[in-house]
Chain A
Amino acid sequence: QKEVEQDPGPLSVPEGAIVSLNCTYSNSAFQYFMWYRQYSRKGPELLMYTYSSGNKEDGRFTAQVDKSSKYISLFIRDSQPSDSATYLCAMNDNSKLTFGKGITLSVRP
């Protein structure tokens, strides 16, 4: 079992939809949870960062961490075509970042 599992996708939704992206993990030492967004032919960029369990909201984006279930989510409200990208969850156990495989999201106008 990989340390971080992410829904494989791809995912295609109409503009305005609510998108839910999810990751599960097995390493209880993970304490820092991130979501990176990667546009085609570009490097990943940090979108959201949370520490331990709870929710964090930033505009249309909400990151949720449930450490008891070893489950994290990213919600995108009112999705836009500009949100079309690959989303990677990432986790840190004080030594290094471990990434999920990424899910490619396409938002149709």
Chain B
Amino acid sequence: DTAVSQTPKYLVTQMGNDKSIKCEQNLGHDTMYWYKQDSKKFLKIMFSYNNKELIINETVPNRFSPKSPDKAHLNLHINSLELGDSAVYFCASSQGVQPNQPQHFGDGTRLSIL
């Protein structure tokens, strides 16, 4: 059983398009995250939601808009895609926001902008 699942696994699209990535977790966690991992493997947080409320927004361009319809889902919509958006996007979840709570990651969505 996949704990944190993301769709799609791969996304290849043209510059200027709008795309969405979906994430679902079946761990019963109440906190979810989006991370971006660049080509050099540097993993950086973008957003965090706790009980469907946005709690972290790390200087991410307005073109990126997260949405959490319920505690088990966190989606990421990206408008007007740019070349620099090419990366692997990881969703993660944890039980609460306490720093000692481990985060469980999905296997990523590989986004390539042509």
> Which residue of chain A lies nearest to B42 when distances are taken between CB atoms in the complex?
A101
A86 pairs with B4, CB closer than 8 A: no
B100 pairs with A88, CB closer than 8 A: no
> Which residue of chain A lies nearest to B90 when distances are taken between CB atoms in the complex?
A43
B99 pairs with A94, CB closer than 8 A: yes
Q: Which of B48, B90, B100, B104 contacts A96 (CB 8 A)?
A: B48
A31-B45 Cα distance, complex, nearest whole Å: 18
A44 pairs with B90, CB closer than 8 A: yes
Number of interface residues of B (CB under 8 A): 21
Q: Which of A31, A41, A46, A94 contacts B103 (CB 8 A)?
A: A46
Size class of the contact patch on chain A: 20 to 34
A41 pairs with B102, CB closer than 8 A: no
B100 pairs with A51, CB closer than 8 A: yes
Q: Which of B4, B40, B90, B99 contacts A101 (CB 8 A)?
A: B40
Per-residue contact bits, chain B 80-110, to A (CB 8 Å; 1 contact, 0 not):
0000000000101000000110111111100
B63 within 8 A of A: no
Q: Which residues of A contact B102 (CB under 8 A)?
A: 34, 46, 49
Given A43-B4, A43-B90, A96-B56, residue A88 in contact with residue B43 (CB < 8 A): yes
A44 pairs with B43, CB closer than 8 A: yes
A41 pairs with B41, CB closer than 8 A: no
Q: Which residues of A contact B44 (CB under 8 A)?
A: 99
B41 pairs with A31, CB closer than 8 A: no
Q: Which residues of B contact A38 (CB under 8 A)?
A: 41
Per-residue contact bits, chain A 65-109, to B (CB 8 Å; 1 contact, 0 not):
000000000000000000000101000111111110110100000
Q: Which residues of A contact B45 (CB under 8 A)?
A: 96-98
A60 within 8 A of B: no
Q: Which of A11-51 contact B (CB under 8 A)?
A: 31-32, 34, 38, 41-46, 49, 51
Per-residue contact bits, chain B 32-43, to A (CB 8 Å; 1 contact, 0 not):
000000001111
New A-B contacts (10) at CB < 8 Å, excluding given A94-B99, A97-B103: A38-B41, A42-B107, A42-B108, A43-B90, A43-B92, A46-B104, A86-B41, A96-B45, A101-B42, A102-B42
